[in-house]
Amino acid sequence: MGETAVAVSRRDTHNYGHHSADVLARYEFDGLEKWLCSSQAHALSLGDIEVQEQRRGRELLRLLLQAHVESRGDGSVGEAIRVHHPDTPPREYALYAQKRVHLRRIITVFGEICVSRIGYGREGKKSIHPLDELLQLPARKYSYEIQRLVVKRAVQGPFEEAVDAVFEATGVRIPKRSTEKIVIEASADFYSFYARRRGSGGNRTGSILVGSIDCKGIPMVKSELTQKKVRRGKGQKAQKKKMATVAAVFTQEPYIRTPEEVVESLFPTGEMPSKSRHKSPGPQRKRVWASLQASKDWFITDVKKEMDRRDLRGKKFHVVVTDGERALQRRVCLMIDDAVLVLDLLHVLERLWAAGHALYGEGTKEAVEFVRLRTLRLLRGEVSQVVKGLRQIATKRRLKGKTAEALLGAASYYYRNKSRMRYDEYLAKGLPIASGSVEGACKNLIKDRMERSGMRWSSDGAEAMVKMRAIYLSRDFDEYWVWHTTKDQERLYPKARWEPAVNVVPK
């Protein structure tokens, strides 16, 4: 079939000599146009032409971008610049008068380009390049756009798949290690991005503001877990996982139901209409996030701040749904003292199921009926009666071993948490009684990405990934990326750091 379009392009461009990028771009376009009209191209299938035109078209776009960068000049602002360093008095400047041309490679979505720019330096100091600031170049050799592509792919699946997907889309292959570092750097502005938000964004939201907090394990690399310690700290376990704190915050309209309706949804019998009297309103402006490195106190404080930002006028009803972990509940009570604390019904039912299976065996009708009847009583607010009944069963039947442990453990759990199990009041007010939102966050945010076969994480890598995946799942990725690049530019090129020096005679 002869040479491919790409081979012809490379041969012809090489023979064309050292011309400017704009001339080479015009020549590349002419060559592509001629090739498409040639007999060689006419002998190919449409699919083959698509593949070769895409590759050659990418080279054309690379040359056009190179030509544009060359048209921006070399960034010269005179013979020298005056630079103000943060550790010097306000009106003291250092003169950078060593002027040289420096070349810099940038990997873009079209391929590699070269930026030739003037650098101003002085002995013992890093050079300053005005053109870098003008073009808003990142610190890394990868452009912001290709970083955006690889991060967006990495939060959706394994790094290897992200690298392959970016290569297929752009022809640029980024090493896996570089991809991991890019994700870590991209997460730097996570907290500042959400801290700047206020209110509901101009949209009307429900009168109930819900926060939900849980914990989920992340598999860690051995070096993070096998360091010798005299004694494991609180919350640390002798296993390959480290616990991350997960949260979900959203608003919703009141969803009023009866205990019977809830039981019918959990244990469908067909005796009640399949559709509830009230359609579930669903969460509004739901945000999910997690942290492996932040302490639980700090993280719960962040949840409190997020809830406060969404209710600046203090008119919403605040609710926090958690499981029965004592330490977590104590922290929530202390730090989010203006919210009603609700014990997650799903965690409550886990204890009932354990008791039912211990008494009647797993999968039996008797066990299902045992759980159904006591669930209805709990939802009607009869927690004390359920506790009393469980204890009486264990006593009157003289149960021992694991069976007695299951019943008495459930009774103690309910007795300890009965102030957070006023489900009859919660249902009448339309409040949520289960933490499906944060349970879903644990699955979507962590399990689906962090717990795939063979995956192990470093602490920094896991922290960055859960942050960026949280942004993606909260549908804030594109907005966050604009914020991140803006803040990154402010760090790289502080305002009023330098200015052109006047009356400097060139050597």
Q: What's the CA gap between 391 and 203, in Å, rounded?
A: 50
Count other Cβ atoms within 10 Å, centred on residue 12.
16
Could you tell me if residue 7 is left (phi over 0), alpha (psi between -120 and 50 degrees) or otherwise beta?
alpha
Helix (H) or strand (E) segment spanning residue 193: helix 190-195
Helix (H) or strand (E) segment spanning residue 216: strand 208-219
Q: What's the CA gap between 17 and 14, in Å, rounded?
A: 6
Q: What is the DSSP letter of 90?
A: T
At 184-227, the pLDDT tens digits run: 999 999 999 999 887 655 567 889 999 999 888 999 987 654 55
Residue by residue, pLDDT tens for the chain (507 residues) are: 344 444 444 444 444 446 788 899 899 999 999 999 999 999 999 999 999 898 899 999 999 999 999 999 999 999 999 998 877 776 788 899 999 999 999 999 999 999 999 999 999 899 999 999 999 999 999 999 999 999 999 999 999 999 999 999 999 999 999 999 999 999 999 999 999 887 655 567 889 999 999 888 999 987 654 555 556 565 555 557 899 999 999 999 999 999 999 999 999 876 665 444 556 778 888 999 999 999 999 999 999 999 999 998 889 999 999 887 888 888 888 899 889 999 999 999 999 999 999 999 998 999 999 999 999 999 999 999 999 999 999 999 999 999 999 999 999 999 999 999 999 999 999 999 988 778 888 888 999 999 988 899 999 999 999 999 999 999 999 999 999 999 999 999 998 889 998 866 555
Q: What's the CA gap between 142 and 104, in Å, rounded?
A: 11
Helix locations, 17-100, DSSP H: 21-36, 39-42, 46-71
Residue 199's pLDDT is 64
Instruction: Pick the closest to residue 119 from 131, 109, 132, 128 (CA basis).
Output: 128
Alpha-carbon torsion (501, 503, 504, 506), positive or negative: positive
Instruction: Pick the closest to residue 492 from 98, 139, 238, 176 (CA basis).
Output: 139
DSSP conformation letters of 466-478: HHHHHHHHTT-HH
Count other Cβ atoms within 10 Å, centred on residue 504.
15
Helix locations, 421-458, DSSP H: 423-429, 436-441, 448-450
Helix (H) or strand (E) segment spanning residue 118: strand 111-121
Q: What's the CA gap between 433 and 381, in Å, rounded?
A: 13
Alpha-carbon torsion (464, 469, 475, 479), positive or negative: positive
Which residues, in sequence order, are CB contacts of 62 under 8 Å at separation 6+? 108, 110, 111, 112, 113
300 exposure class (CB count in 10 Å sphere: 0-12, 13-18, 19+): buried
Please answer whether residues 101 and 118 qualify as being in contact, where contact means their C-beta atoms are separated by less than 8 angstroms: yes
Instruction: Pick the closest to residue 434 from 442, 426, 443 (CA basis).
Output: 426
Give me the numbers of helices (H) and strands (E) for the chain, helices first please.
22, 10
Total-model pTM: 0.83
List the chain domain ranges. Answer: 5-70, 81-187+476-492, 207-443
SS3 4: coil
502 exposure class (CB count in 10 Å sphere: 0-12, 13-18, 19+): exposed
DSSP conformation letters of 246-284: EEEEEEE------HHHHHHHHS--SSS-SS-SS-----E
